Amino acid sequence: MPLQKCKKSEYKGKIKMDNILNSIGHELKFSNFVRAENCTLFDDKGDRYLDLESGVWSTPVGHCHPRITQVLSEQSGKMIHSGYCYLNPIVGSAASKILEITGIKTGKCVFLCSGSEAVEFSVQLISKISSKPYFLTMKNCYLSAYGISGERSGNRWIHFDWMNEGNTDKIDFSKIAAFVFEPGSSLGLVHFPPKELIQQIVNRVRECGGYVITNEVTTGTGRTGRWFGYNHFDIIPDIVAIGKGLGNGYPVSCVAIAESVTEKIDPKKFHYGQSHQNDPLGAAVALGVIDVIEKEGLLQRAVTIGEKIRCRFNRMKDEYGIIKEVRGRGLMIAVEFQKNDGFSFAEKINEELLKRNVILAKRPGHEVFRIDPALTIQEEQVEYFLCTIEEIISSLRVQS
């Protein structure tokens, strides 16, 4: 079984955490994880936990994948950091590979440190080359922790409520500098807008001289069974912002920029400098992650395992009557529960899973939980999870 106890404690130190500022906005559930391997987390006492969350969508090839550990070790031994005026050739190789998988044939990349930074960089870039006043995005999306894309205030942003408004008649596309599209996660609730709607918006924005940025921070690097979330919509963006999974836990992000944008950049007017831009270590890790996904056939694996999980939940939906909807693409999956008097099904299931050392993602206040394991999750771990959760769900049907 995947969750048996290790023989001895792996951590000798005294755990002291009251000196850590927790400003993330989520309750801290564990403070004693000391080791991780693929989808298994180990606490200081040697207990094992099944991680179906991948941190925060950040470990597509599993915690501490041997090839990524090797890349980290080898590249750290050669060169971690360069500087404003120097580049290491590995950065160019990683950029070529990223342009290849994005389908942006002629373009440029910049390597940064977080998803927020990649999205914010993209938005700032367009602000410099477009005189149009607004950015268009979908209601209920998340773009960045800070900056223009973090605020998403009404004087720069139009929020299109696609789930309720349906059509785009009220949008003045002549004023849109860029459509900033998050193709999937939607504040962790996992909703996918219709393909025709997205294609229509993309066409209208471009006809009026605007650009298309996709935020692939959660949906990129194979999570949905394709390289990027936008692949499901048959569009090629002008800018692709990639984060989280690209570093498999190491903080590297990348912005891939098509020639339609790079040809308009005036280097005298657009400056964006930070110390770790285009660092060789991050680029080497990104290249390693892409290589592992290709060599281990993980895009197809995400499709197959994702279908299996969704299929089993759909069967539970018919059988136990407490599931409202099962949504997902590849290994980005959400299960929504019926509203219930007295207690929340999703909260209760999450609590019961935690007692059994199974970790999945739950956004407070919503009857939804997310299943986003590494694309390398073992078949037996999937089976263990499905059997465990079915046991819990079936017991709730009896109680309700």
Ligand X SMILES: Cc1ncc(COP(=O)(O)O)c(C=O)c1O
34, 36, 56, 197: which one contacts ligand X (CB under 6 A)? 56
Side-chain-side CA neighbours of residue 83 (13 Å):
2
Of 21 and 398, CB closest to ligand X? 21
The token pair at 250 is: 């190491």
Interface residue with ligand X among 43, 51, 53, 182 (CB under 6 A) is 182
Within 186-245, which residues bind ligand X (CB under 6 A)? 215, 217-218, 243-244
Output the smallest distance, CB 396 to ligand X, in A. Answer: 29
Which of positions 262-301 make contact with ligand X (CB under 6 A)? none
**In angstroms, what is the minimal distance from the CB of 185 to ligand X?**
5
Contact window for ligand X (CB under 6 A) among 18-26, 36-44, 109-117, 332-340: 109-117
Handedness of CA 26, 29, 32, 34 (dihedral sign): negative
User: Is the dihedral angle over the CA atoms 141, 146, 151, 152 positive or is it negative?
Assistant: negative
Enumerate residues 6+ apart whose C-beta is below 8 A from 388.
353, 356, 358
> Based on CB atoms, which residue is closest to ligand X, 42 or 230?
230
The token duo for 393 is: 């769900």
Q: Is 291 exposed, middle or buried (0-12, 13-18, 19+ CB in 10 A)?
A: middle
CB of 310 to ligand X, least distance (A): 21
CB of 184 to ligand X, least distance (A): 8
Task: Decide: is 376 part of the binding site for ligand X (CB under 6 A).
Answer: no
Is residue 171 at the binding interface for ligand X, with CB under 6 A as the rule?
no
Binding segment (CB under 6 A) for ligand X, from list 60-68, 94-102, 140-148, 167-175? 140-148
144 class by beta-carbon count within 10 Å (0-12 exposed, 13-18 middle, 19+ buried): buried
Distance CA 151, CA 133 (A): 15
| Position with the least CB separation from ligand X | 115
Residue 179 C-beta: closest distance to ligand X, Å: 15
Under rule CB under 6 A, residue 323 binds ligand X: no
Q: Near ligand X by CB under 6 A, which window of 137-145, 198-206, 277-285, 293-301?
A: 137-145
Q: How far apart are CA 295 and CA 39, in angstroms?
A: 19
Question: Which C-beta is closer to ligand X: that of 119 or that of 256?
Answer: 119
Our finding on whether 59 is near ligand X (CB under 6 A) is no
* Closest separation in Å from C-beta 21 to ligand X: 16
Q: Are strands 157-160 and 134-138 parallel, antiparallel or unpaired?
A: parallel
Residue 114 touches ligand X, criterion: CB under 6 A: yes
> Contact at 8 Å (CB) between 284 and 246?
no
Report whether 344 contacts 351 (CB < 8 A): no
Among 88, 116, 130, 350, contact with ligand X (rule: CB under 6 A): 116
CA 89 to chain centre: 27
Least distance in angstroms from the C-beta of 143 to ligand X: 6
| Strand partners for 86 | 83
Q: Which residues bind ligand X (CB under 6 A)?
A: 56, 114-116, 119, 142-145, 182, 185, 215, 217-218, 243-244
